[in-house]
Chain A
C-alpha cells in the first residue's frame, strides 16, 4: 500500500487550490459541510459524512441555464456552460454513489444534461473511507460500503498520522503526480459494520400501492423538503424565467433551474388548480416508489444510497429504514 502523511496531503491541497476550485468537508457550526475552501487548514479529515450531499455541487440548488435579452434586434439567447476545473476532497462513498445514480439520468439518458455532464467531467473526486458512520447509515444494504472506492479518482483511507492512497483513474494519476507517497506495510482497518435494512426490489412494489401504511406514516409529515434537499439522489427541479437587473435599462432575463421536491404540496399541482397528489400519503408513497421502483426500473440504479440523512434530519422522525422494514414485512405476509 502507499501512504501519505497528513501534513504532506495538506501541502498538496494548498497547491491544488492555486489552479482549481477545491471543495472539502469543513466544520460549520456543529456539523461538517462540503464547502469550497481557500486553505487546507479549513478541512476536517475526520468525522461522519457531511450534512449536505455532494449532489449540490453538480446539480445546483439554483442555476442559470440560459440568459436572454430582448432588444430592437429581437431576442438573443446565451447558454451558460460551467468551465472551471474542480477537485472534491473527502467525498464519502454514499455521496459518490449518489453521483453515479444521478449520472444514469443526467448523462446516460439521451439527451445528456449539459451543465451536469460538463461539471462531472471537470471535477475530480478524492474519496475518503468512512470510519465514523452515523446511527442512521445503511449504505451496505444498497451495495456500497464505508470503504467503497467505486467512482473516485483517488481514494484515501485514514490510518494513524496519514492516509493510505489508492490512485484509481487517469484523472487521479495526473493529480497524484505531485503527491509525496511512501510504501507502507499498513493495511486498511476493517470497515465498520452497519445494521442491514431490507430493500424490496423493483417489481414487488405494485401490490403495496393501496396499503394504508403510506397515509399512516405520512400523517405526521410536515410537507417540508428536508428529506429531498439533503438526499444525494433526489433530483427533481422546476424551471422559471425571471428578470435580472439591467443597469443599462435593457430587458434581461434568466432561465433558472431550481430544486423542487415531491414532498411539497404544490409540486404536482397542474393548470386549473387540480392536484393529483394532494394527500401527504400519496406524496410519501411517491418518494418511496421513486427511489426503489420507478427510478431503478427506468434508469437502472436504486435512488437511495443509505446515507441516512433524511432519517437524521426529518423533523418528525419519518424513517426510511423503518418504512422499508415495515413494507418488507407487509409484502412477505401477503
Chain B
C-alpha cells in the first residue's frame, strides 16, 4: 500500500470515529505544487497525498487551534517542532493525533533540498501512527554546506557586507516568520504598533534588526525545516543564520531542538560560572 493510501485510511478512520475534527495533510495543488490540505469529512480523504514534494511544515497550522482535535501529517523535522511547542506549553498533546512519515528527503524540482542532503533523520521522534518503510536508504550527503562554510569564514567586515546585501533585498513581507512553526508570539516584537525596538519602515536597518533578531529568538528552538528560506520571495539564505546558531547550540550545549520535549537551554541553562555569580 502506498503511503498516500495509508494516510487516507488513517484519516478516514480518525474522522469516522470522531477522534479528530480535522486532518491536516498534503494535497495536489495547481502548477505542479503540493499544498496543505484541511480535511474535515471522511469522504474527502482521497485528496490526501504523500510524495517527495511535501515540503510544508504543517505544525505551523497547529498554533492557536486549541478549539478542535487535530490529526496532522509530519515528517521527522516537522515532528521536532511539535516537541518544541509542547515544551513551551503551546500545544495540547491530548488534542493531537500525529501521523508520522518516514522521510528520505524533500525535493525541489529534481534534487533533494539542501537541508535534506545533510539530514540523517529518517523517522519522526514523536508520532501516534508511523507510516513508511523504516529501512530507507540514505542518500549521499552533497556539498550543500559549502556556501555556509564560505560565509562563516569571511572576515567580519566582508561577512557584514554579504549579509547587508542580502537583507537589502528583503521586502519585509514576513513570509519567513509566518511559515515558521516556531515563530508563534501573539505579537511579534518586530511588528509592534509603537515601534518600540524597531521602526515600521521597510529599510535596511529595520530588515537587519528583524532577521538577526528573529534568528536569535529561534536559537535552540529552530528545527531546521528551512521553510523560512523556501517561502522567501527574493531567495534570502535565511537558513544560514539558523544553521550558525544551531552550531553554537551544538558546541555549547550539545543540544538539538525538539529531539525531546525540552526548552532551549540558551534561555534556561546557566553555566557553572553564571550560576555561581
Contacts and interface: CB of A to CB of B under 8 A. Distances in A.
A binds B: yes
Interface of A: 28-31, 33, 51-52, 61-62, 135-136, 216, 219-220, 222-226, 228-230, 238, 240, 242, 256, 258-259, 261, 264, 266, 311-313, 315-317, 319, 321-322
Nearest to A254: B201
Contact of B178 (A216, A223, A230, A322): A223
B3 interface: no
Contact of B35 (A33, A224, A313, A316): A316
Given A229-B171, A242-B195, A322-B30, A315 B202 contact: no
Interface of B: 29-31, 33-38, 56, 60-61, 169, 171-175, 177-179, 191, 193, 195, 199-203, 227, 230-231, 233-235
Contacts of B199: 240, 242, 256
A31 B235 contact: yes
Closest 6 CB pairs of A and B: A315-B231, A317-B29, A317-B35, A224-B175, A61-B202, A222-B178
Main secondary structure of the interface of B (DSSP, over half): loop
Contacts of B230: 315
A313 to B, nearest CB: 5
Nearest to A243: B199
A316 B202 contact: no
A222 B173 contact: no
19 contacts: A29-B234, A30-B235, A33-B234, A61-B171, A62-B201, A62-B202, A220-B36, A222-B179, A224-B177, A225-B173, A226-B175, A226-B233, A229-B173, A256-B200, A311-B30, A312-B31, A315-B175, A315-B227, A316-B35
A224 B200 contact: no
Contact of A256 (B33, B172, B201, B234): B201
Nearest to B228: A315
A120 to B, nearest CB: 21
Given A266-B191, A317-B31, A321-B30, 7 more contacts: A31-B235, A51-B233, A222-B179, A223-B178, A315-B175, A317-B30, A322-B30
